[in-house]
Amino acid sequence: MRIATWNVNSITARLPRLLAWLESTGTDVLCVQETKSTLEQFPADALRELGYESAVNATGRWNGVALISRVGLDDTVKGLPGGPEYEGVEEPRAISATCGGVRVWSVYVPNGREVAHDHYAYKLRWLEALRAAVAEDSAGDRPFAVLGDFNVAPTDQDVWDPALFEGATHVTPDERAALAALRDGGLTDVMPRPLKYDQPYTFWDYRELRFPKNRGMRIDLVYGNGPFTAAVKDSYVDREERKGKGASDHAPVVVDLDL
């Protein structure tokens, strides 16, 4: 089974590339973040023509997550159980389902904006709610993984220049501690194996030629429980999909399993 996660930064803008990528890679399950669409705008019909079902948690031009699967979508849960609201709204940042016997979560963790901002405190509350919700869902012998854009670089090695991020979100001790707490619940970071570069970044800002200069961050992550991790045969960042006109600022992260 091939499972991937991809922040598409608007599924409408990325649809031709998304359909071509699914067809060429033979991906079985894709976790999508930043759909930036309403439920009605989501291209379920186009995906169905390729043989994929969709489960979507999206409400408008911001945020939005989805699961796209050709191996089934059972026991779908929209939203983060026990998750916090921001400014009185439960944002569409999580969706989970069982796909071909694997329990899969697609998550889009809040950005945090600035350390002194209310959004940063919201981000930490959201990560704590994710830890609590995942602890129950990941227990047992069923393969489980939570995949997505975590908006946190786990270590200094996961950013191209740590000095430039000092005092900013994505690298603070509290954010990294929240990720560590998630892993401490029995999950492992499925580290992509770099194909060409020493650091397999997953995000490169559109500005300042960040991608050609490989000035990126690894913030798109795959955390699996023991049965999931034991089945991993390969993992990689599809850096080629970040190239060219009309690309997302994130690249897909792909995991191959032998179940």
Q: Is 249 annotated as a binding residue?
A: yes
Burial code of 67-92, b = ≥16 C-beta within 10 A, e = fewer?
A: bbbbbebeeebebbeebbebeeeebb
CA-to-CA distance for 175 and 173, rounded, in angstroms?
6
Indicate the SS3 state at residue 21: helix
Please identify every residue annotated as catalytic.
Answer: 108, 149, 250
Q: Is 7 annotated as a binding residue?
A: yes
CA-to-CA distance for 81 and 69, rounded, in angstroms?
22
**Cα 124 to the center of its chain, rounded Å:** 17
**Cα 51 to the center of its chain, rounded Å:** 22
Q: Is 149 annotated as a binding residue?
A: yes
Q: Is 117 annotated as a binding residue?
A: no
Burial of 225 (0-12, 13-18, 19+ CB in 10 A): buried
Q: Are 183 and 213 in contact (CB under 8 A)?
A: no
Instruction: Using the structure block, give the residue that is written with the tokens 């950005």.
Output: 111
What residues form DSSP beta bridges with 255? 3, 235
Instruction: Using the structure block, give the residue that is written with the tokens 């979560």.
Output: 105
Q: Is 119 annotated as a binding residue?
A: no
Q: Is 137 annotated as a binding residue?
A: no
Q: Are 11 and 37 in contact (CB under 8 A)?
A: yes
Annotated binding-site residue numbers for Mg(2+): 7, 34, 149, 151, 249-250
